[in-house]
């Protein structure tokens, strides 16, 4: 007996329209749906089956509309299979590089070597000495071996040697802490602003550790001191779309590639302020990591003002009048940094501050604009939502200006000031030395929230929040502060402005 023929569909019918939509759009993507959306895809299949049944029995168009309406209602309400939430991202652990003592550069050592370099005149050496004296750095910061030579070795081979020096021990330490093999890593991200070799830094790591052929590797360059936060943001986005994955983010700066041998004062600043440092961070979206991880990643936020010419040119890598390459830091930097920081914290505040604080802020703005124009705008304190702060170590003046904007006290900025003193400005990795300082002092408690902020060229302002998910003790014996944490905090020397 021949099977009954299927009913002929009219081109203008509602059922035909829905059927074509389902068959050509939804079913096309069912095979690529990740496992997290399995309940969602199951409901779609059920919907398609019911729709096919309606078409077969020639049900009235109203039934098709009701079915579609029910489907959309469930989606909007987030009921059942639609109540999907992406997997949480956990920070399992992190490591910070501790340079060897032979790399320490006391002020007298720095100025003596600088005076022996022919490209510097006496005025350049005197200027750098004044910058060092007022920088907030101690006598125990580090420069790479290539910059201890006279003249400094600034060529490709030395850049690669420095990269291997700061990155390989980090990878070894982090993998050892987490008891992982390099082949367990699914995502590798490295950020370094001033050195972008070919093969890339990420390829150097993949080659050294014989990582898998399908590891997703990325190298970020030119992003400045905010690149560490950008790396975390990129890792989070990748972990949202790659189930049960492990990511490593490496943040560093190759100082020998950024050394300036000319006499322009605006370019000499980097020689004085930036010092060795690098950090490695292990992130994962595996559910079982919730018990062993230190932190849970809460949110990331990125803002920039590169679309404004004045802001864009505040920090720029260029040649001086003598053709020597360096990074120019213009006088408009502080103003540009203040403007982008205000924009950034305004967005952040709208996301994390309590409703009462936001309402009071809004009322104060309305009152000043329409009622009492001489009044002040109420600025809520971020300490109502965040317990610990890791700020850019760009200098004591910058740290204190940020603290003023956020209504922070001396204890809140202690980690930033002490990191600047002990290790200098380590660009994108500084925030991790600050967090290591807090851990060594055992200040971060379970349930506490930490905000890490990076500000870099562009200008860019990037930050992310962490929540401590387990007690953290005993870190003072195994992080970069292990030999000196008991000496800190020290009383900071008042800031001076170089002339």
Summarised one tens digit per residue, pLDDT across range 38-59 is 455 555 656 566 666 556 566 6
**252: pLDDT confidence band, cut at 50, 70 and 90?**
very high
Q: Is 273 helix (H, G, I), strand (E, B) or coil?
A: helix
pLDDT at 363: 83
Q: Is the pLDDT of residue 18 over 50?
A: no
- Which range among 164-173, 363-372, 453-462 has the greatest average pLDDT? 164-173
485: Cβ–Cβ under 8 A, 6 or more apart, which residues?
Answer: 437, 440, 441, 476
Residue 18's nearest CA partner among 46, 47, 41 is 47
Structure tokens at 278: 């690098």
Q: What is the mean pLDDT of residues 204-227?
A: 94
pLDDT at 493: 45
pLDDT, the chain, mean: 84
pLDDT at 62: 66
Ordered DSSP codes for 55-107: HHTT--HHHHHHHHHHHHHHHHHT-GGG---PPP-EEEEEEE----GGGB--H
Ordered DSSP codes for 117-168: -TT--HHHHHHHHHHHHTS---TT-B--GGGGSSS---SHHHHHHHHHHHHH
pLDDT at 14: 41
Give, as one character, the DSSP assignment of residue 271: H
Structure tokens at 215: 């590891």
Q: Is the pLDDT of residue 224 over 80?
A: yes
pLDDT at 485: 94
**For residues 328 and 267, is the Cβ–Cβ distance under 8 A?**
yes
Q: Residues of 160-171 as b/e, b for ≥16 C-beta within 10 angstroms?
A: bebbebbbebbb
Residue range 371-416, pLDDT digits in tens: 766 667 777 778 888 999 999 998 898 899 889 888 899 999 999 9
**For residues 477 and 242, is the Cβ–Cβ distance under 8 A?**
no
Residue range 141-186, pLDDT digits in tens: 999 999 999 999 999 999 999 999 999 999 999 999 999 999 999 9
- Beta strands of 210-361 (E only): which ranges? 216-220, 246-252, 278-284, 295-304, 315-319, 325-329
Q: 447: alpha, beta or left, given left = phi > 0 and alpha = psi -120 to 50?
A: left
Distances (CA, A) of 308 to 226, 249, 312, 314, 340: 18, 30, 6, 10, 11
The pTM for the full model equals 0.81
**For residues 465 and 386, is the Cβ–Cβ distance under 8 A?**
yes
Alpha-carbon span 9 to 126, nearest angstrom: 88
Any idea of the CA torsion for 438, 440, 443, 445, to the nearest 10 degrees? 110
Residue range 277-318, pLDDT digits in tens: 999 999 999 999 998 999 999 999 999 888 888 888 888 999
Q: Is the pLDDT of residue 30 over 70?
A: no
pLDDT at 32: 38
Q: Is the pLDDT of residue 488 over 80?
A: yes
Element of type H or E holding 345: helix 333-352
pLDDT at 406: 86
Q: Is the pLDDT of residue 78 over 60?
A: no
pLDDT at 166: 96
Residue range 94-147, pLDDT digits in tens: 999 999 999 999 999 999 999 999 999 999 999 999 999 999 999 999 999 999
pLDDT at 306: 87
Q: Residues of 335-359 as b/e, b for ≥16 C-beta within 10 angstroms?
A: ebbebbbeebbeebbeebbeeebee
Would you tell me the crossing angle of helices 265-273 and 122-133 to the nearest 10 degrees? 50
**For residues 492 and 396, is the Cβ–Cβ distance under 8 A?**
yes
Length reported for the chain: 499
Q: Is the pLDDT of residue 321 over 50?
A: yes
Lowest-confidence pick of 255-259, 368-372, 487-491: 368-372
Domains of the chain plus CATH, in order, are: 90-482 (3.40.47.10)
pLDDT at 36: 43
């Amino acid at each position: 007996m021949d099977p009954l023929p299927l009913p002929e569909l009219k081109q203008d019918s509602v059922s035909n329209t829905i059927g074509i939509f389902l068959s050509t759009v939804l079913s096309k993507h069912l095979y690529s749906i990740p496992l997290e959306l399995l309940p969602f895809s199951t409901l779609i299949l059920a919907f398609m089956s019911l729709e096919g049944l309606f078409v077969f029995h020639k049900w009235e168009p109203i039934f098709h509309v009701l079915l579609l309406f029910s489907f959309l209602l469930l989606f909007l309400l987030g009921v059942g299979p639609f109540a999907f939430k992406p997997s949480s991202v956990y920070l399992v652990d992190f490591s910070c590089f501790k340079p060897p003592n032979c790399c320490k550069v006391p002020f007298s050592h720095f100025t003596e070597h600088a005076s022996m370099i022919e490209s510097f005149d006496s005025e350049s050496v005197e200027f750098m000495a004044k910058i060092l004296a007022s920088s907030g750095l101690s006598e125990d910061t580090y420069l790479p071996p290539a910059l201890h030579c006279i003249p400094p070795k600034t060529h490709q081979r030395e850049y690669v040697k420095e990269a291997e020096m700061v990155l390989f021990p980090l990878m070894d330490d982090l993998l050892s802490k987490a008891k992982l093999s390099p082949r367990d890593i699914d995502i590798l991200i490295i950020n370094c602003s001033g050195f972008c070799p070919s093969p890339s830094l990420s390829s150097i790591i993949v080659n050294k550790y014989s990582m898998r052929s399908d590891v997703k590797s990325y190298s970020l360059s030119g992003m400045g001191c905010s690149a560490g936060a950008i790396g975390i943001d990129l890792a989070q986005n990748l972990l949202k779309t790659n189930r049960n994955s492990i990511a490593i983010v490496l943040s560093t700066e190759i100082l020998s590639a950024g050394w300036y041998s000319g006499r322009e004062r605006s370019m000499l600043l980097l020689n004085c302020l930036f010092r060795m440092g690098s950090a490695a961070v292990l992130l994962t979206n595996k559910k079982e990591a919730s018990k062993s991880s230190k932190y849970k990643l809460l949110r990331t936020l990125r803002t920039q003002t590169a679309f404004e010419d004045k802001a864009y040119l505040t920090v720029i890598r260029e040649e001086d009048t003598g053709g020597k390459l360096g990074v120019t830091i213009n006088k408009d930097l502080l103003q540009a940094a203040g403007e982008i920081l205000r924009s950034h914290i305004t967005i952040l505040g709208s996301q994390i501050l309590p409703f009462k604080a936001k309402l009071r802020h809004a009322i104060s703005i309305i009152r000043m604009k329409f009622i009492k124009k001489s009044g002040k705008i109420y600025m809520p304190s971020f300490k109502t939502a965040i317990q610990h702060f890791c700020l850019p170590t760009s200098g004591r003046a910058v740290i204190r200006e940020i603290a003023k904007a956020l209504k922070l006290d001396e204890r809140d900025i202690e980690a930033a000031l002490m990191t600047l003193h002990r290790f200098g400005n380590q660009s994108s990795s500084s925030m991790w030395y600050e967090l290591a300082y807090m851990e060594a002092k055992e200040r971060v408690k379970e349930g506490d929230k930490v905000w890490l902020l990076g500000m870099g060229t562009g200008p860019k302002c990037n930050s992310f929040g962490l929540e401590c998910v387990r007690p953290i003790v005993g870190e003072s014996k195994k992080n970069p502060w292990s030999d000196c944490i008991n000496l800190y905090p020290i009383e900071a020397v008042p800031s001076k402005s170089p002339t």
